[in-house]
Chain A
């Protein structure tokens, strides 16, 4: 039989209208529906995104065919990237029988990519992990959940006893819902460690740090839909056509409608670059020279936005000094990009406005990642391209909830919502959680370690294997509990094998055993390894944050399959085992060990004032999903007169100020002064003091204000810069009388000793925010964005060659930062770079190696490589190599090659893809493969029946040392390798 699907579906089908002729039915589709479905919304036939939706709904109802008649339709969010596509599922008798286009979603308008169009398979996959297992003497053995939780818990408590709480590493996931990642972070806090991390560390940690240090919040400023307004789109260090395909709907339509410049700056002629109006090929690792090269032309020609800089930017003169060094000759010498081309692009950015800069991991995954994104922000500030439609730093994030997991603080440097780790932050969360601060402190080894950032996940194995005295905590890491993270997406796999062997306990909670399991067995582990089946996100409900900061509530499509459990339940079971479940779930309803997602979101609402997650109640989010069709496609706003979602922006993009009752509509564009704050307007956030002392050339000093100068959001009662709101400042303005007695009481409770010091972000009543909004002011204040981000390792971005660079001649002029101690660990990048130059590594390994995404797979790739519909499309790991380099080495397209890396005698066997996508001297690998190591197929290491269909060498077997000083980001985007025919 060629085709087979569940019996149920066919049965419904047969109940349907068989009478409908094969030919006649299409006439039922009215023209409008038809056009919408054909994706017309670009032409004159239908104005963009403004199709009357009533027509669509009517047509849909009329068209409801036999398949939909019996099935329930449930909506959730695609789990594969952060565009936030709605997935519409048809469910019958608990079985997910079909997917339909989600026409009503203002984000994806029915579309999906290869991954989104095949998510149904993830749930019913026969290769899912079905029950908990443990490795006993090298054999995979089935155990019950109770046994697993008890044994794991006992071991963890034993390690805690012996080595302290910091010896357990809690590795969470960007795939979890907000509620799941928030609970996981809370578990870390109650356990007593800041060693809680997730994928954002290896994708956009540098963005979050760099961008937040520039203007307040580390997130995409605008939205995918808003890119349609841009007259110039510059994509630098991203390949959204493969990594965020549905975003290209907005980018390409925007390009067509605006006749926009579509510039792609990338070492690779990607699928995105194929549609560019201007393609700039650069040497990997030279983002800062290229950006400065553009700024040089901008300053040279006076194209900068002087008014914008004067009103809203700090540190322009410091920038000018650095940019002056980057004349076209030097830029071309370093990056290979000709000056004339850069001048053209610079002119577009500065004069064909609005212009937006789009990036992803091409900029972030470097030792200079933070500086790269800072330089990008600076380019936008210089040209006044922030805070208006069509402008902005449009940072495309990579997992369905990586923005959310970052926001809820599943991170080593902060508690939820960027409160940091200082005493005040802990006290704030103690108040929200209604536990004693002293209790929390007692869970940690010391108050000092409680306020010290944890170890980045990029270096978990070094925390295991380094000498104890080099790891600045009580003891080495002895156990890793990983829930939803791949091991092959972390660089330096040969080194991580040592860590995998040395651990006392490794727990992998995931729908698939992941490469952790196969590599751990390969490393020689025979015991102390548990794998727990956790359900996919389609089997649980909760909110997810798309890249554009919109929150979307996903329904549970089907119940967890096999013996798998919801993330929330696993976290609860661990907390129960550790004995603090009562405290941790004090305000969260738990039924049959499953905490209620809605309650968790409500708790977050009560504590997330700093980031404006306070207005997105579960009720509002659910109303948005129900009323998706009402939101305008371009502005993403619902009509003001709608009873349920009137005036809201889709998904209440954060910050959504005040309590839900305030009905703040969300902020679709950050820092947009053209709108009233209650319509989503905003200003730059003064987060780094109110003024700064600067040294002048003559030795004297002067104080410079960091508040905005003459710029303010529409309708603001204060028509100039202003600091964040506190009770004291309300009093000064005489606005404290607007606070209700109840709000005043809560403020007094927050800080009984000094209520005046209670700020907008600590006030649990929301009163201070409400009053500020009432007067048209932004609660966090109105400051300047920083070109000079004092406090960062390089306050003004400085070009630094990658640790492993082919241009050894440039290392002396542009060396990496000196060795230092960061995140409890030594960062010896400088020594490694120096040694590489001295040993002549670049001669032995002359090719630059970069890595990136394929459209068919995601992340470590286990779940997507298990999906036959996707796996069939990419069956072999490969490396892209330029025809010239291939010819030099006798390598043929499709032939097997050995790739060798610059460290640990690493080697990997894969196929060659000979293509001009990469320039001469550059090679590129996809990073989703795993299950092979150094030429060996590890299929037998997986528990039987759980091995993905497609296995292959991991790119990170070859990648090397290199960590961003500000975030611990790894450097998989630029290293060195050699390739030889196998």
Chain B
């Protein structure tokens, strides 16, 4: 069984934000909800690197552990999904998440932190695959169609990789070997408790 992961090769990422708008396009994500974002570290200085980040679908996901209503679960592919029917919008998953992935509609309005929304690895939610309900709550389910997340598929420089962790790790390793440098598989240690030795 594949274990799905994301890997952003920061030596390729140019902060073009294709991943961000591809996500918005595929799932019709509303204004203010950023399932994916690109952060630039050391902006404007030599050594500047940009990293595209969304839910990393952690091993032993902290969000799932702290959820008071236990609405977050991990699929057999290692994708971390949640049920919006069960979510109470308490914000705990956001406190626990190392990657700032959970998003809430109308954050800040008193008492109305809505149902949590986050990257689904284009795998929908607990509803039946490809159903209308699933689409409306979580967006498209590309995984069920045999496709990978659109953010990675559309990445302008093939920086963002998505797929079976072992394969993408191998791709990254070979890239680093070939070119002779690599700033690391950002977030892997925190999310998966492993790094890619290069």
Interface residue ranges, A against B (CB under 8 Å): 1-5, 9-11, 13-14, 16-18, 20-29, 31, 34-35, 37-45, 59, 62-68, 98-99, 101, 110-118, 120-121, 241-242, 245-246, 248-249, 252-253, 255-257, 259, 269, 271-272, 274-275, 279, 855-856, 868-870, 872-873, 915-918
Contacts and interface: CB of A to CB of B under 8 A. Distances in A.
22 contacts: A3-B28, A10-B135, A11-B132, A14-B132, A21-B129, A21-B144, A22-B77, A39-B158, A42-B178, A43-B174, A66-B130, A66-B145, A117-B150, A241-B14, A241-B15, A245-B18, A249-B156, A255-B179, A259-B179, A269-B46, A274-B50, A872-B31
Nearest to B161: A38
A852 to B, nearest CB: 14
B174 A870 contact: no
Nearest to B124: A22
B136 A10 contact: yes
Interface centre among B49, B153, B162, B167 (most CB of A within 10 A): B153
Contacts of A248: 14, 16, 156-157
A557 B7 CA distance: 34
B184 to A, nearest CB: 16
Contacts of A118: 21-22, 24-25
A16 B145 CA distance: 9
A4 B138 CA distance: 10
Given A18-B130, A29-B146, A872 B16 contact: no
Contacts of B150: 101, 117
Contact of A112 (B22, B30, B132, B143): B22
A279 B130 contact: no
A779 B27 CA distance: 53
Interface in B132-167: 132, 134-148, 150, 152-159, 161-164, 167
Contact of B135 (A5, A25, A64): A5
A44 B178 contact: yes
B43 A915 contact: yes
A869 B21 contact: yes
Interface centre among B19, B22, B161 (most CB of A within 10 A): B22
B175 interface: yes
Contacts of B145: 16, 25, 63-68
Given A2-B105, A18-B131, A34-B163, A26 B77 contact: yes
Contacts of B18: 111-114, 116-117, 245
Given A13-B130, A45-B174, A4 B14 contact: no
Contacts of A23: 1, 75-77
A98 to B, nearest CB: 7
Contacts of A255: 179
Contacts of B21: 114-115, 117-118, 869-870, 873
A257 B178 CA distance: 7
Contacts of B124: 22
Contacts of A65: 130, 142, 144-147
Interface centre among B30, B114, B140, B147 (most CB of A within 10 A): B147
Interface string B1-19: 1101000000110111111
Nearest to B103: A2
Contacts of A98: 25-26, 140
Given A26-B143, A272-B14, 18 more contacts: A3-B139, A10-B136, A13-B140, A18-B131, A22-B124, A22-B144, A25-B146, A29-B146, A34-B148, A40-B158, A63-B146, A65-B130, A65-B147, A67-B130, A99-B26, A115-B21, A248-B156, A916-B44
A33 to B, nearest CB: 9
A253 B4 CA distance: 25
Contact of A2 (B30, B79, B144, B155): B30
Nearest to B145: A65
Nearest to B24: A869
B140 to A, nearest CB: 7
Given A34-B163, A66-B130, A869-B21, A114 B16 contact: yes
A68 B21 CA distance: 20
B111 interface: no
B53 interface: no
Given A4-B136, A42-B175, A110 B163 contact: no
A43 B168 CA distance: 11
A9 to B, nearest CB: 7
A518 B144 CA distance: 47
A252 B12 contact: yes
B178 A120 contact: no
A117 B144 contact: no
A114 B17 contact: yes
Contacts of A34: 148, 163-164, 167
Contacts of A17: 129-130, 144
B176 to A, nearest CB: 10
Contacts of A110: 153-154
A45 B164 CA distance: 15
Interface centre among B16, B49, B84, B162 (most CB of A within 10 A): B16
A39 B168 CA distance: 10
A10 B132 contact: yes
A42 B158 contact: yes
B83 to A, nearest CB: 13
A346 B21 CA distance: 40
A279 B14 CA distance: 16
B177 to A, nearest CB: 8
Contacts of B86: none
A580 to B, nearest CB: 44
B123 interface: yes
A338 to B, nearest CB: 16
Interface centre among B27, B44, B140 (most CB of A within 10 A): B44
Interface string B112-137: 00110100000110001111101111
Interface centre among B50, B114, B134, B145 (most CB of A within 10 A): B145
A21 B178 CA distance: 38
A160 B105 CA distance: 57
Nearest to A108: B156
Given A3-B28, A23-B1, A67 B140 contact: yes
A573 B21 CA distance: 37
Nearest to B151: A117
A111 B135 contact: no
Contact of A111 (B2, B129, B146, B156): B156
A1 B105 CA distance: 10
Given A16-B130, A34-B164, A868 B143 contact: no
A114 B20 contact: yes
List the 8 closest pairs (A to B, CB-CB), nearest first: A65-B145, A39-B158, A63-B146, A23-B76, A917-B44, A43-B174, A114-B17, A245-B16
B69 interface: no
A98 B22 CA distance: 10
Contact of A245 (B26, B49, B156): B156
A16 B180 contact: no
A567 to B, nearest CB: 25
A35 B166 CA distance: 12
Interface centre among B19, B27, B146, B167 (most CB of A within 10 A): B146
B124 to A, nearest CB: 8
B33 interface: yes
Interface string B43-81: 111111110000000000000000000000001110100
A35 B167 CA distance: 8
Contacts of A115: 21
A45 B171 contact: yes
A9 B75 CA distance: 25
B132 A917 contact: no
Contacts of B48: 269, 271, 274
B135 A3 contact: yes
B143 A25 contact: yes
Given A65-B147, A110-B153, A43 B22 contact: no
Interface centre among A2, A13, A99, A116 (most CB of B within 10 A): A2
Contacts of A64: 145
A253 B150 CA distance: 21
A29 B25 contact: no
